[in-house]
Amino acid sequence: MIEYIVAKYNYWIYIALMMVGFYAMMAKKNLVKKLLGLNIFQWSIILFYISTSVKSGGATIPILDKAIDVANPSLYLNPLPHVLMLTAIVVGVSTTGVALALIILLYRCFRTLDEDEIFERLSE
Amino acid sequence: MIEKQFPAIIIVAPLVMSILMNLMGILSKKGCYYLTVVTVSVSLISAIGLLQQVINSGKISYRLGGWDPPWGIEYMVDHLNAYLLVIVTAIALLAAIFSLRPIERVMPARIPQFYSLFLLLTTGLIGMTITGDAFNLYVLIEITSISCYALIAKGDDRSPLASFNYLIIGTVGACFYLLGVGYLYIMTGSLNMLDIAKILPTVYGTNAIVAAFSFFMVGIAIKMAFFPVHGWLPNAYTHSPDVVSAFMAATVTKVSAYVMIRVMFTVFDPSYSLKVFPVMDLLGWLSVGAMMYGCTLALAQREIKRLLSYIIIAEVGYIVVGISVANRLGFIGSVLHIMNDAIMMVCLFLVAGAVAFKTGAKTIDDYRGLAKRMPLSAAAFLVGTLSVVGVPPTCGFFSKWYLLLGTIEAGRYIYTAALLLSSLMSAIVGFRVLQSIYSTSSERPSLKDEAPLSMLGPIYVSVVAIMVIGFFSGDIINAVIQHTVPHGFK
């Protein structure tokens, strides 16, 4: 059991982080904390992608060593997940940007960031 | 020569123009409106051209930037997405034409920004429909969603909170989709949908593929507001600006339903999707839940846009039930209903927008005596409601007919009963509104005060479409939809 967990520790970490983010999104009442939860959730997926490209046994990043033998894939890491995650980071940043703008809008309107208090104001 | 470039033009035109819109805004505010209408028209013409090419000569594969698939991003157009591209661009055009007066009134200082986001939303929806690359699809889902969040937040005073909640739930949905792509990439080493489909049969039966399939399903279900993960939809669509809710109501859930069909039957093989776990039973029962829940809650609403939002939840149930019975007739019904639902919803939401623009009426009680004040808009609402109920000869009848036949052929009589019962309930919902519209109120002035032509035009285009498309549904099925049925469906 222990070996099983240790051998795939990267996946366990990503699942744990994901659940932390999920909990924050569901249980927290403060909008900024919810947004932080969302970020943790997104970032855990990015870490998952990055960890899938890791290779043991001296593999390196292709651009570090120009003389690397491209025909032998065990010498370098798979660069594609890294590139995909650059795009995903950009998507995450823009989502966060829009969310922060919405939070500012809500704060100006209600003078609070607590979800329950906003609901109270709305039902008045 | 230009026909060869249609798959690029259809998406590049709105994308480039959404960036240039702010420059246009410096020159002329009115110019933004015309530029948007022209840009969306260019996309519509390309979409019609693509549909014609697909009908004449079959699938089109377009290599974006000249890179060969599976390394480059491939745009793949077949009967299913060519058909959907025409629907999405046509609805975008109707919404763009309609937007002239309400946007001038609601956000006079933000006209270029509105049209910029509007075109970005159009780009995202077209891209989701046309792309043949699984990761590219994720990026386009997020482009669509982010422009939705921003547009929703320009609505009434409750809209920022509705938009924020949609943002949280919507991003979780997109993240699940991304995880699904990740698992498939680990197992197959490819991101091109057709290439994945080729490699997948060698690894079917592994747990990772079951996990990928489940992540896809949950992610897409959130995006298409499928019961029980529909929670974001009613608030988001009720509080957003009227033009935006009309455009989103008619397209976002429908395009997500298309993504579901694409993932289930193109990326995964139908024989796998149907048997991986009792996924079809699950989808079927959840759509029964969606129909019952949507129609019951629609009965309880007083606000027109919220009522229509609950109807959309039920309509998503209709689309999914046809897929879940896994036969030819049901699938044809689903694909036909994607179009019919888009047209009905754009008609009803645009009328709601026109009425709110002219009279400020938002609830059923406000609608009293509307037939006197705005007879043409009231008549359009009548036609839209009849189509939602499924009264012949409106188009809603024909797709429901195929759905009913599909469920009967599969021997799923409970689904049939649910379809009939929810039609009956939507009839009650519709007639409650119509009764209010056609009753005479003594305390309100009943001077005739009809919406301007830029609003009535798009409304009446959709009304004519509702009346006419029903008669041509046989031709549409023969020319397009029968080619979209996955292999193995009888």
**Structure confidence by residue, pLDDT tens digits, B405-423:** 999 998 889 999 999 999 9
Report CA B215 to chain centroid distance, whole Å.
22
Q: Which of B178, B192, B218, B239 to mutate to test the interface with A (most CBs of A within 10 A)?
A: B178
- A98:B146 CB<8 A: yes
Going by pLDDT thresholds of 50, 70 and 90, the confidence category of residue B353 is very high
- B172:A88 CB<8 A: no
Q: Pick the residue from chain A with its C-alpha nearest to B153.
A: A102
Residues of A in contact with B135 (CB under 8 A): 84, 87
Q: Is B207 on the interface with A (CB under 8 A)?
A: no
Question: Among the residues of B274-412, which ranges form H helices?
Answer: 279-299, 304-324, 328-359, 370-373, 375-389, 395-409
Radius of gyration of the CA atoms of chain A, in A: 20
**Structure confidence by residue, pLDDT tens digits, B15-37:** 999 999 888 888 888 888 999 99
Report how far residue B79's alpha carbon sits from residue B54's, in angstroms, rounded to the nearest whole number: 6
What is the structure's pLDDT at A10?
84
Report how far residue A54's alpha carbon sits from residue A9's, in angstroms, rounded to the nearest whole number: 13
Mean pLDDT of B96-117: 89
- Residue B60: beta bridge partners? B77
**Structure confidence by residue, pLDDT tens digits, B172-204:** 999 999 999 999 998 888 899 988 888 888 888
Q: Is A40 on the interface with B (CB under 8 A)?
A: no
- A122:B163 CB<8 A: no
* Residue that wins the pLDDT comparison between A93 and B449: A93
Which among B360, B376, B396, B416 has a CA at the least distance from the CA of B469? B396
- B171:A34 CB<8 A: no
Are B391 and B407 contacting, i.e. CB atoms less than 8 angstroms apart? no
- Who among A45, A88, A102 is closest to B153 (CB)? A102
Which among B94, B86, B128, B192 has a CA at the least distance from the CA of B481? B86
Going by pLDDT thresholds of 50, 70 and 90, the confidence category of residue A18 is very high
* Residue B442 clears pLDDT 60, i.e. is over it: no
- B168:A52 CB<8 A: no
What is the structure's pLDDT at B126?
94
Q: For chain A, give the percent of residues with pLDDT over 90.
A: 40
* Residue B6 clears pLDDT 90, i.e. is over it: no
Min Cα–Cα distance to chain B from A46, Å = 9
Contacting residues for B95 by C-beta, under 8 A, at least 6 apart: B118, B243, B246, B247, B250, B346, B350, B458
* Residue B57 clears pLDDT 80, i.e. is over it: yes
Q: Is A109 on the interface with B (CB under 8 A)?
A: yes
Domains of chain A by start residue, with CATH: 2-54+73-123 (1.10.287.3510)
Are B329 and B410 contacting, i.e. CB atoms less than 8 angstroms apart? no
Helix (H, G, I), strand (E, B) or coil at B43: helix
DSSP letter at B451 equals P
Q: A64 in the Ramachandran plot: left (φ > 0), alpha (ψ -120 to 50) or beta?
A: alpha
Mean pLDDT of B322-346: 92
Report how far residue B398's alpha carbon sits from residue B322's, in angstroms, rounded to the nearest whole number: 13
* Residue that wins the pLDDT comparison between B118 and A124: B118
Q: Is B2 on the interface with A (CB under 8 A)?
A: no
What is the pLDDT of chain B when averaged over all its residues? Answer: 89
CA-based angle B393:B353:B339, to the nearest 5? 40
- B168:A38 CB<8 A: yes
Min Cα–Cα distance to chain B from A118, Å = 9
Both tokens assigned to B96? 């763009």
CA-based angle B170:B172:B174, to the nearest 5? 70
- B172:A52 CB<8 A: no
A vs B, Cβ pairs < 8 A, gives 69
Which residues in A60-85 are b (16+ Cβ under 10 Å) and which e?
eeeeeeeeeeeeeeebbbbebbeebb
Contacting residues for B364 by C-beta, under 8 A, at least 6 apart: B302, B304, B307, B432, B433, B436
CA-based angle B467:B469:B474, to the nearest 5? 135
Q: Is A91 on the interface with B (CB under 8 A)?
A: yes
DSSP letter at B450 equals P
DSSP letter at B374 equals -
Residue B346: Cβ within 10 Å count: 29
Are A106 and A113 contacting, i.e. CB atoms less than 8 angstroms apart? yes
Mean pLDDT of A25-39: 92
Long-range contacts of B457-461 (CB under 8 A, 24+ apart): B457/B97, B457/B98, B458/B94, B458/B95, B458/B97, B458/B98, B458/B346, B458/B350, B459/B98, B459/B347, B459/B350, B459/B351, B459/B354, B459/B376, B459/B377, B459/B380, B460/B376, B460/B380, B461/B94
- A91:B139 CB<8 A: yes
Q: What is the pTM of this model?
A: 0.93
Q: For chain B, give the percent of residues with pLDDT over 90.
A: 54
Are B254 and B92 contacting, i.e. CB atoms less than 8 angstroms apart? no
Distances (CA, A) of B409 to B82, B330, B363, B477, B485: 28, 9, 41, 18, 16
- Who among A52, A88, A103 is closest to B186 (CB)? A52
Report how far residue B399's alpha carbon sits from residue B395's, in angstroms, rounded to the nearest whole number: 7
> Amino acid letter at B388?
V
Q: Among the listed ranges A64-78, B4-18, B218-232, B450-464, which one has the minimum average pLDDT value?
A: A64-78
- B158:A38 CB<8 A: no
Report how far residue B305's alpha carbon sits from residue B348's, in angstroms, rounded to the nearest whole number: 9
What is the structure's pLDDT at B443?
59
CA-based angle A80:B167:B321, to the nearest 5? 85
